[in-house]
């Protein structure tokens, strides 16, 4: 059982930051709470079978400013930190801006957990296998961190590729809360998300991949490609070498197959390295083919390319 001395439910951002500033060391901020017990079971709150305990839990789920999403005039999106994962399945406007996210959400646990789990919490947990982080890499996301200074709410943004620094480690400073994620809209792109794990249900990624593809005006070439992986290194990886290789090239299966071999050297896992390398190549092919099809320009795959991508 996990215990705490105080369970706080602030309703404003200023109150949440004030509560965090006054909370004893070892206190926790939560929103959906879907990872709280696994966090404790990992030994980071004592012995969960005995006296697992944190001084205070600060539940920010009631802070209205941290929820929802909006499209901004400059073509970017603001995703509130407590936006739940289910929204990416149910909100058609949001899915239009982030076409890789509905497939990510489908793979994200089950309906009950998706309605509780938040985009901010999944990023802050900084798991190498986190589902939402690779899709956020593909849209150049920035993490907004807020703190309290002299009674004023201070804000700063950090590129997500710099924010996540290792397993369970981020650039979030003491006294800070993640308030939002800002990212570019991918409206007009096709999106895809691939994932494999040790079982079919409620799976934790061994490898996952997110892709965005924007076909050129001629309908024959890649105008833009975005690809990122999770589960293959200490942090998610943006496969920019694949992007550079494909941009401007014809949308053909053999070219996609050639590009898919480029990111395999990113695999830096301590286990199942060769397996992950094979999966990375297969997922690169399949994600790009699927994203291109999602954009309305399906590539007729060569039989051997299709077999390899689904192997």
The per-residue pLDDT for 47 is: 46
pTM comes to: 0.89
CATH class of the region 66-184: alpha beta
CA–CA distance, 207 with 227 (Å, rounded to integer): 13
The per-residue pLDDT for 270 is: 66
The per-residue pLDDT for 141 is: 98
CA–CA distance, 225 with 213 (Å, rounded to integer): 5
Q: What is the CATH number of domain 190-309?
A: 3.30.390.50
The per-residue pLDDT for 268 is: 87
CATH 3.30.43 maps onto the chain at: 2-59
Q: Which residues of the chain have pLDDT under 70?
A: 1, 33-51, 197-205, 270, 301-311
The per-residue pLDDT for 116 is: 85
CATH 3.30.390.50 maps onto the chain at: 190-309
CATH 3.30.465.10 maps onto the chain at: 66-184
SS (H, E, C) the chain: CEEEEEEECCCCHHHHHHHHHHCCCCCEEECCCCCHHHHHHCCECECCCCCEEEEEEEECCCCHHHCCEEECCCCEEEEECCCECCHHHHCHHHHHHCCCHHHHHHHCCCHHHHHHCEHHHHHHHCCCCCCCHHHHHCCCCEEEEEEEECCEEEEEEEEHHHHEEECCEECCCCCCEEEEEEEECCCCCEEEEEEEECCCCCCCEEEEEEEEEEECCCCCEEEEEEEEEECCCCCCEECHHHHHHHCCCECCHHHHHHHHCHHHHHCCCCCCHHHHHHHHHHHHHHHHHHHHHHCCCCCCCCHHHHHHHCC
The per-residue pLDDT for 115 is: 85
The pLDDT tens digits of the residues spanning 51-69 come to 678 899 999 999 999 999 9
Fold of 2-59: 3.30.43
The per-residue pLDDT for 84 is: 95
């Amino acid at each position: 059982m996990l215990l705490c001395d105080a369970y706080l439910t602030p309703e404003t951002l200023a109150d949440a930051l004030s509560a965090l500033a006054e909370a004893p060391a070892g206190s926790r901020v939560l929103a959906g709470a879907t990872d709280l017990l696994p966090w404790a079971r990992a030994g980071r709150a004592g012995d969960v079978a005995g006296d697992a305990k944190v001084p205070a839990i600060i539940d920010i789920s009631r802070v209205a400013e941290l929820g929802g999403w909006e499209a901004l005039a400059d073509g970017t999106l603001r995703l509130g930190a407590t936006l739940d994962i289910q929204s990416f399945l149910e909100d058609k406007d949001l899915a239009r801006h982030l076409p890789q996210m509905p497939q990510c959400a489908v793979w994200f646990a089950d309906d009950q957990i998706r309605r509780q789990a938040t985009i901010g919490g999944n990023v802050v947990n900084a798991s190498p296998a986190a589902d939402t982080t690779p899709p956020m890499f593909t849209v150049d996301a920035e993490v907004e961190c807020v703190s309290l200074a002299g009674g004023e709410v201070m804000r700063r943004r950090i590129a997500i590729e710099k924010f996540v620094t290792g397993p369970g480690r981020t650039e979030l400073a003491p006294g800070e809360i993640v308030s939002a994620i800002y990212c570019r809209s991918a409206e007009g792109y096709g999106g895809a998300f691939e994932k494999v794990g040790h079982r079919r249900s409620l799976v934790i990624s061994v490898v996952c991949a997110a892709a965005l593809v924007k076909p050129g005006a001629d309908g024959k070439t890649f105008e833009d490609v975005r690809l990122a992986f999770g589960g293959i290194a200490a942090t998610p990886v943006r496969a920019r070498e694949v992007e550079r290789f494909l941009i401007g090239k014809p949308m053909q299966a053999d070219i996609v197959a050639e590009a898919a071999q480029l990111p395999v050297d990113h695999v830096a896992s301590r286990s199942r390295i060769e397996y992950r390398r094979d999966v990375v190549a297969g997922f690169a092919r399949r994600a790009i083919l699927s994203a291109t099809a999602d954009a309305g320009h399906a590539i007729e795959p060569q039989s051997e390319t299709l077999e390899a991508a689904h192997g």
